[in-house]
Amino acid sequence: MPVFYDQLNRAVDLPATPKRIISVVPSQTELLFDLGLDEKIIGITNFCTHPADKTKSKTKVGGTKKLDIELIKSLKPDLIIANKEENDRAQIEELIQYFPVWISDINTLQGAVDMINSIGEMLDCKDKVETIGRSIIHQFDQLKPLPSKLRVAYLIWRKPYMVAGNDTFINSMLQQCGLINAFDLSRYPQINNDMLIDANPDLVFLSSEPYPFAEKHITEFKVIVPNAKIILVDGEMFSWYGSRLLLAPGYMSGLISTL
């Protein structure tokens, strides 16, 4: 019986190559589709939106942190692909009692590539994932970071304000651009106006997800930190750690050029 280890170093027993897969992580769902596993994907979350033409027809099993456990049980998956950060721990622990669950835990670019390779090995598409992984690493190697070390506050939420801290995948992507996180804090801390003023960032990135920051919010931050450059950024390019990473270096190159 094949045994695979997830990124929490948990052994996941798979008697055969999975044929009924549920993904509860949007970026990993996109990866599965890009690997050509359309027919094996039997369930995804409401937030799994890429590729749009294929996700629409799939059974939705709830939100990433509010899964419909009974629906998942009724689908009888032979593999669930989850993430330590994006999913609710109690729900995932419950699902582990019934089904094989492979959990990713990603804070770096290498961790993302390792996840891609591991999924390819489990699902018998090793050659495809190796090609994707090599292309991602090559493109990031070609990315020319900013020569000047600008400090950035990366906002992910409003009311209350929340930022990406220094031990997140987002922070790793900021580093790829040559940027320094203005907040030397862990995970996704809440901040207030005074904390943002004290951080004195050169840049404020307003992410498109999970909170949908828009043009109307730029003025709000300009009042708080008038000397900072406020920029709307595509959150998927900084936080999706599946095959969307093939697009991220091109996006980041354009962003760097504007800075």
Q: What are the pLDDT digits (tens) for 185-219? A: 999 999 999 999 999 999 999 999 999 999 999 99
Q: What is the pLDDT of residues 215-228, one digit of tens each?
A: 999 999 999 999 99
Mean pLDDT in residue range 226-238 = 98
pLDDT at 181: 98
Options 3.40.50.1820, 3.20.20.70, 3.40.50.1980, 3.30.43.10; CATH of 151-258: 3.40.50.1980
Q: What is the pLDDT of residues 16-32, one digit of tens each?
A: 999 999 999 999 999 99
Confidence of residue 77 (pLDDT cuts 50, 70, 90): very high
Mean pLDDT in residue range 105-120 = 97
pLDDT at 239: 97
- The domain at 3-105 falls in which architecture? 3-Layer(aba) Sandwich (3.40)
Confidence of residue 148 (pLDDT cuts 50, 70, 90): confident
Q: What's the mean per-residue pLDDT of the chain?
A: 96
Residue intervals in the chain for CATH 3.40.50.1980: 3-105, 151-258
CA dist 160 → 27, 60, 63, 98 (Å): 25, 29, 21, 37
pLDDT at 1: 63
Comparison of pLDDT for 77 and 1, the residue scoring more: 77
Q: What is the pLDDT of residues 171-180, one digit of tens each?
A: 999 999 999 9
Q: What is the pTM of this model?
A: 0.94
What percent of the chain clears pLDDT 70, i.e. is strictly above it? 100
CB atoms within 10 A of CB 109: 19
